[in-house]
Chains A and B, each alone.
Chain A
Amino acid sequence: MDYHSPASFAEASALAQNATGITRFLAGGTDVLVQLRSELVTPDTLIDIKKINGVHDITRNSDGSWTLGVAATGAEMSEHPELGHDWPGVVEAMDLIGSTQVQGRATLTGNLCNGSPAADSVPAMVAAGVTVTVTGPEGARDVAVENIPTGPGKTSLAKGEVISSVNIPARGENGGDAYLRFIPRTEMDIAVVGVGVNLRLDGDIITEARVSLGAVAPTVLLVEEAARAIIGTTLDDAALDALTAAASAACNPIDDKRGTIAFRTEVAGVLAKRTAKIAYARAKGEQA
């Protein structure tokens, strides 16, 4: 196994481009090292991106948008004085990952690129409209988060491509986001269903919404029907029922040791309703 710690993303990209066999980028390592230790994946090349300048930075840009370095950890996000105020859903989703120890290492980018359909931060990022900057042999491009995963353990990143930053839009006025997951226990478990909701209000009326589901299909889903069910409403009971139905209808889950098809489909609807209520309350400036 070769270990590299490049000083720039261009260098990281070149190393990956020229590597043979299995290549992994090392962010927090909470997936990579666990897979290595349990002999699931033994990379031939390990490219540590934590030594690149600025990868831990969390920056609010002048237009109100946010740029997060790819090594910024869950703990750094939770401790940031303003990020959680703007995007409580994204921060709470990341904060659900693992334990205190894992929080000190785990990153949004690692969670996204590990490609798990159950990754907790991904539905929250999709709902928030987050993009990532991808640096490759041909330069850099921005890609919506929902276009990165292509199936369990798979991403759309080509050989030699590395994510160089995470870009969260400006929060703007009267917006709120939230993330809920279902696990049979209270923590240290893997999502059986995850739901991210992000919306904006005009008065009491929802004018914009994005609803995203995790762990109910081979990739995290952006469910437009679910968003449509609540746009133009005050999130009244009829809207919640329509949202519940749309979320359940979008599911295409598997039966496995973690949950049945029927269970995931049903609970996706329930959680969509509960998450939307929290996002709505946050958009109104209420505690939730």
Chain B
Amino acid sequence: MALDHRKSIFNFVGTRPDRPDGLDKVTGRARFGADAYAPGMLHGAILRSPHAHARIVRIDTSKAEALKDVKAIVTRADFAVLPFKPGLEGEFWNVLENVMAGEKALYDGHAIAAVAATSALAARDALKLIEVEYEVLPHVTDVDNAMAADAPVIREGAADYSVPEGMHPNVVRYHESGHGDVEAGFAEADLVIEDSFVTEATHQGYIEPHACLASLGMDGKGELWCTTQGHWYAQKYCATLLGIETAQLRVTASEIGGGFGGKTTVFIEPVALALSRKANRPVKLVMNRSEVFRSTGPTSSASMDIKIGMKKDGTITAAQGIFRLQGGAFPGAPGDLTAMCAFAPYDLTNVRQVGYDVIANRPKQAAYRAPGAPMGAFAVESVLDELCNQLGLDPVDVRLKNAAAEGSKASYGPTYERIGLVETLEAAKAHPHYSAPLKPGQGRGISCGFWFNHGGETSVSLALSEDGSAQVMVGTPDIGGSRASMALMAAEVLGIPYENIRVTVADTASLGYNDVSHGSRVTYASGLATIKAANHAVEKLCERAAAKWGIPVDAVKWEDGCAVPSGPNAGDFDPLPLADITADMGATGGPISGHFEATPEGAGVSFGTHIVDAEVDSETGKTSIVRYTVIQDAGKAIHPTYVEGQYQGGAAQGIGWALNEEYIYGEDGRLQNSIFLDYRIPVASDLPMIDTVIVEVPNPGHPFGVRGVGETGIVPPLAAIANAVSNAAGVRMKQLPMSPPRILAALKEK
């Protein structure tokens, strides 16, 4: 197909039209998770453990059940009834255990029981009547403590085959990779720096709490409406946990008020379905903010040791990192991804990385934009900055000298295809920000960042209407303006205006399986499938034109929204516009649609470079971010405004993570800051205008050259800000967040 050759001249792609969901969102017409209602609907509420680690001795629900407003109560026993899927294993078991505790409460906020009642107030009142007897057990919430010999064992046998013998049972997965000989490399270095770094867990902080409306009949047929990044995932997990057939549960994704990875799994959805099945009525469940913080997936916390050797000219001779990630009470902390990403921007002869996945008494971590990568970048890029400072080298020059390029062997194994890291570094060097003078008390920081990007199962359908408009059905919830990008790509292929295309996120009954909106995959994978589905429709349009003209189909080509003869030999026919073909398609062969499904493999890795200026008040330790520039390779920016939005969003979240956001646990293992007053996400006035530069080094794996852009933008900020703050304060900051008390303490010790 002609369009498989990369296009470089575009009519629609690269323009900035209004987003199709914009009006609904600014007028309040958009329907989010909590905006669904059903006749006879009940309201659910969940009882949660106040203990970090406790055996559940007894649950007595009789007093709550006696209330006339209460229609159903479920505990773990209600999930054990699995007619055709008796034993759950692996991640299914983990998710079940997480959505409703079994024998033990594993963290503060772990679900213990749930109620459905005629009003939200009645449901909450009923929770107070449920009696739970706990036998409190010793707990551990810190990653280094959880690996120590005397740490309480959270779950025997949770470790998989990868863990070397002799490790604490809380170490559940182990990863080691690299190449070359690091010891030999360190011996060649003029300077070797070795240091340790710590980051706290942060939450994705999406504005919309989890919410769903579930209806499940005794016939095993169900409907679920929920706010999610992946409704096929929700379908598969809910069906499995409830013991029903996947196809009998239809899941519809609502508009989503942010996810950032945190809505790639299920929490309340299986519980609402279980309540509905028991009450035989629809059940709505909506979390409050405190539940979101205590019981959904924050990111992992990390403890890391880095050692890097460098020659006087800036050549890195060897690099080694040990990354310990704590991801709550279940396996899944991305220690492997941290390790694989940490040195990925550099072309290294000798590199070794080790990652640990450690469990502790905290909520099960969930993905958060480039899961695992920001922490590793923080540690590695801090050491690089220190090497540059001590050797008197320019931080961009050193990164350019060591930058990976096409043909470099990545630190995690493969050989890179065409990548754009060097271009982002060159753009950084040329950017006026990089040479702007700093005021006293200010410091500048640089960091690079890497993310894999992902393809995943993808299925898209496109149908043309008689009037020549087109509808596109995708299966990836729109978390960043993707409906606009899909419409632009379809417009590009079909040659009809953007406004004539409506893109819908279809429910699970309307398309084949689609992977979650994660891995920066949507514009890449659903985009690729949209282009191919449009091509499929174009083939049929050309067939109809060929039949009308009485010429062979290969004598017809598609140009600017019209079928035209492919050359002078094909005959002399006026261009036939799309709308003329669709106008009588019923009579010329029936409806015209296009379809494409695949698991595309060419996602194309992505790199970025950030420049940050920070100002530190040396008397109070307070940091202001005074200037910020994001430079990132987008491959091809389909809708540049939404690409810039992703860049700015990554930086904004990174600023929060670097400066003030953190999960704070007390001695008792309880989360102390489960409201936005004390979980200090940046407010608008904390942020400078975040400047963006879109670099476009086309991805060979996409017809238009797209690389995902959603995640890479959060990889460099922690490091870039830490470097800026350390340079401003004159002391290396090795722990995140760099809250004012930590900075002031570091200044005192200087």
Query: CB within 8 Å of B: which residues of A?
Result: 38-39, 182, 184-190, 192, 256-260, 262-263, 266-267, 270-271
Interface residue? B50 (CB, 8 A): no
CB-CB < 8 A to A39: which residues of B? 124
- Knowing A38-B290, A263-B744, A266-B744, the reply to whether A185 touches B673 (Cβ < 8 A) is no
Contact present for B677 and A189 (CB under 8 Å): yes
Residues of B within 8 A of A186 (CB): 683, 685-686
Q: In the complex the two chains form, is A187's CB within 8 Å of B744's CB?
A: no
Please indicate the chain B residues that have their CB under 8 angstroms from the CB of A270 in the complex. 619-620
Q: How far is the CA of A133 from the CA of B491 in the complex (A)?
A: 71
6 residue pairs, one from A and one from B, having the closest CB atoms: A263-B741, A186-B685, A270-B619, A257-B664, A257-B672, A260-B741
The reply to whether the CB of B740 lies closer than 8 angstroms to some CB of chain A is yes
How many CB-defined contacts (below 8 Å) exist between A and B? 57
Residues of A within 8 A of B683 (CB): 185-188
Name the distance in Å between A271's Cβ and chain B's nearest Cβ. Answer: 8
Asked whether B678 is an interface residue with its Cβ less than 8 Å from the other chain, the reply is yes
25 interchain pairs (CB within 8 A)? A38-B288, A38-B290, A182-B620, A184-B660, A184-B680, A184-B739, A185-B660, A187-B685, A188-B683, A189-B677, A189-B680, A190-B678, A256-B672, A257-B672, A257-B678, A259-B741, A260-B741, A262-B744, A262-B745, A263-B621, A263-B745, A266-B744, A267-B620, A270-B620, A271-B620
Q: What is the total number of residues of chain B having a CB less than 8 Å from a CB of chain A?
A: 25
Q: Is residue B622 contacting chain A, with contact meaning CB distance below 8 A? A: yes
> Considering the chains assembled together, what is the distance between the CA atoms of A257 and B740 in angstroms?
12
Task: Please tell me if the beta carbons of B740 and A263 are within 8 angstroms of each other in the complex.
Answer: yes
Q: Bound state CA distance, A185 and B672, in angstroms?
A: 19
B673-712 contacts to A, CB under 8 A, are 673, 675, 677-678, 680, 682-683, 685-686
Quick check: is B106 within 8 A (CB to CB) of the other chain? no
Chain B residues near A184 (CB-CB < 8 A)? 622, 659-660, 680, 739-740
**Distance of A38 Cα from B290 Cα, bound (Å):** 9
Q: Which residues of A contact B744 (CB under 8 A)?
A: 262-263, 266-267
Closest B residue to A266 using CB positions: B744
Please, which residues of chain B bring their CB within 8 A of the CB of A187? 683, 685
Contacts of A258 in B (CB 8 A): 678
B616 to chain A, nearest CB (A): 13
CB-nearest residue of chain A relative to B681? Answer: A185
Instruction: Report yes or no: B680 in contact with A185, Cβ–Cβ below 8 A.
Output: yes
- Which residues does chain B contribute within 8 Å of A192, judged by CB atoms? 740
Closest Cβ of chain B to A182, distance in Å, is 6
Bound-complex Cα distance A256 to B673 (A): 10
Q: Which residues of A contact B673 (CB under 8 A)?
A: 257
CB distance from A95 to the nearest CB of B (A): 14
Compute how far the CA of A188 lies from the CA of B621 in the bound complex, rounded to whole angstroms.
19
In this complex, which of A38, A257, A271 has the most chain B Cβ atoms within 10 angstroms of its Cβ? A257
Chain B residues with CB below 8 A from A267, complex form: 619-620, 740, 744
Per the bound structure, the CA–CA distance linking A259 and B290 in Å amounts to: 21
A182–B739 Cα distance when bound, in Å, is: 12
Shortest Cβ distance from A41 into chain B, in angstroms? Answer: 15
Nearest residue (CB) in A for B676 is: A188
| Chain B residues engaging chain A, CB cutoff 8 angstroms | 124, 288, 290, 619-622, 659-660, 664, 672-673, 675, 677-678, 680, 682-683, 685-686, 739-741, 744-745
- CA distance in complex: A239, B257 (Å): 53
In the assembled complex, the Cα of A270 lies from the Cα of B659 at a distance in Å of 21
Nearest-neighbour CB distance to chain A for B142, whole angstroms, equals 16
Distance of A100 from chain B, by nearest CB (Å): 13
**Shortest Cβ distance from B680 into chain A, in angstroms?**
6
User: In the complex, what distance in Å separates the CA atom of A187 from the CA atom of B741?
Assistant: 18
Q: How far is the CA of A187 from the CA of B621 in the complex (A)?
A: 17
Min C-beta distance of B482 to chain A, whole Å: 31
Given A257-B672, A262-B745, A263-B744: A185 in contact with B686 (beta carbons within 8 A): yes
Q: Chain A residues near B621: list those with CB within 8 A.
A: 263
Contact indicator A185/B682 (Cβ below 8 Å): yes
Query: Whole-angstrom distance from the CB of A160 to the nearest CB of chain B?
Result: 30
Chain A residue nearest to B739 (CB atoms) is A184
Cβ–Cβ < 8 Å partners of A185 in chain B? 660, 680, 682-683, 685-686
Expressed in whole angstroms, the Cα–Cα distance for A188 and B124 within the complex equals: 29
Q: Are B677 and A190 in contact (CB under 8 A)?
A: yes
* A2 vs chain B, min Cβ distance (A): 17
Q: Which of B619, B672, B682 has the most CB of A within 10 A?
A: B619
20 new A-B pairs (CB below 8 Å) besides A38-B675, A263-B741, A266-B744?
Answer: A38-B288, A38-B290, A39-B124, A182-B620, A184-B622, A185-B680, A185-B682, A186-B686, A187-B683, A189-B680, A256-B672, A257-B664, A257-B672, A259-B740, A259-B741, A260-B741, A260-B745, A262-B745, A263-B621, A270-B619
A256–B739 CA distance with the chains assembled, in angstroms: 13
Chain B residue numbers with a CB within 8 Å of A38 are: 288, 290, 675
Give bound CA distance, A200 to B312, whole Å.
Answer: 62
For the complex, give the distance between the alpha carbons of A274 and B683 in Å.
24
Whose C-beta in chain B lies nearest to the C-beta of A255?
A: B741
Q: How far is the CB of A185 from chain B (nearest CB, A)?
A: 5
Chain A minimum-CB-distance residue to B741: A263
B499 CB → nearest A CB, Å: 36
Residue of A nearest to B664 (CB): A257
Point out the residues of chain B lying under 8 angstroms from A188, CB to CB.
677, 683
Give Cα A266–Cα B622 distance, bound, in whole angstroms: 13
- CA A133 – CA B681 in complex, angstroms? 40
Chain A residues positioned under 8 Å from B739 (CB to CB): 184
Q: How far is the CB of A165 from chain B (nearest CB, A)?
A: 30
Q: How many Å lie between the Cα of A271 and that of B288 in the bound state?
A: 36
* Separation of A189 and B677 alpha carbons in the complex (Å): 6
Complex: chain A residue closest to B678, CB-CB? A257
Whether A182 contacts B680 in the complex (CB less than 8 A), given A263-B741, A266-B744, comes out as no
Which residues on A sit within 8 Å (CB–CB) of B686?
A: 185-186
In the complex, chain B residues whose CB is within 8 Å of the CB of A266: 744
**Chain B residues with CB below 8 A from A189, complex form:** 677, 680
With both beta carbons as reference points, the residue of chain A lying nearest to B617 in the complex is identified as A270
Measured CB to CB, the nearest residue on chain B to A188 is: B683
Closest Cβ of chain A to B106, distance in Å, is 23
Question: Nearest-CB distance from A216 to chain B (Å)?
Answer: 14
Minimum C-beta distance from A180 to chain B (A): 11
Give the complex CA separation of A185 and B623 in angstroms: 9
Which residue of chain B is the closest to A190 with respect to CB atoms?
B677
The residue of chain A having its C-beta at the shortest distance from the C-beta of B128 within the complex is A39
The answer for the CA separation of A263 and B741 in the assembled complex, in Å, is: 6
CA gap between A38 and B674 in the complex, in Å: 12
Bound-complex Cα distance A189 to B676 (A): 9
Report A40 CB to chain B, min CB distance, Å.
Answer: 11
Chain B positions within 8 Å of A262 at CB level:
741, 744-745
Taken together as a complex, chains A and B put the C-alpha atoms of A256 and B672 apart, in Å, by 9
A38 to B678, CA, bound (A): 15
In the assembled complex, the Cα of A263 lies from the Cα of B288 at a distance in Å of 32
Q: In the bound complex, what is the Cα–Cα distance between A267 and B678 (angstroms)?
A: 19
Task: Give Cα A266 to B685, complex, Å.
Answer: 26
Closest beta carbon of chain B to A253's beta carbon, Å: 12
> Shortest Cβ distance from B158 into chain A, in angstroms?
30
A18 CB to closest chain B CB (Å) equals 27
Give CA–CA (A263, B740) in the complex, Å.
8
Cα distance, A184 to B737, chains bound together (Å): 11
| Residues in A neighbouring B659, C-beta threshold 8 A | 184
A271 to B682, CA, bound (A): 23
Give chain A nearest CB distance to B689 CB in angstroms: 15
CA of A190 to CA of B678 in the docked complex: distance in angstroms?
Answer: 8
In the assembled complex, the CB of A13 is this many whole angstroms from the nearest CB of chain B, namely: 31
A256 to B621, CA, bound (A): 17
How distant is the Cα of A186 from the Cα of B656 in the complex, in angstroms?
13
A263 — nearest CB in chain B belongs to which residue? B741
Chain B, Cβ-Cβ closest to A273 = B619
Q: Which residues of A lie under 8 Å from residue B740 when comparing CB positions?
A: 182, 184, 192, 259, 263, 267
**Who on chain B is nearest to A182 by CB?**
B620
B718 to chain A, nearest CB (A): 17
B81 CB to nearest A CB, Å: 33
- CB-CB < 8 A to B672: which residues of A? 256-257
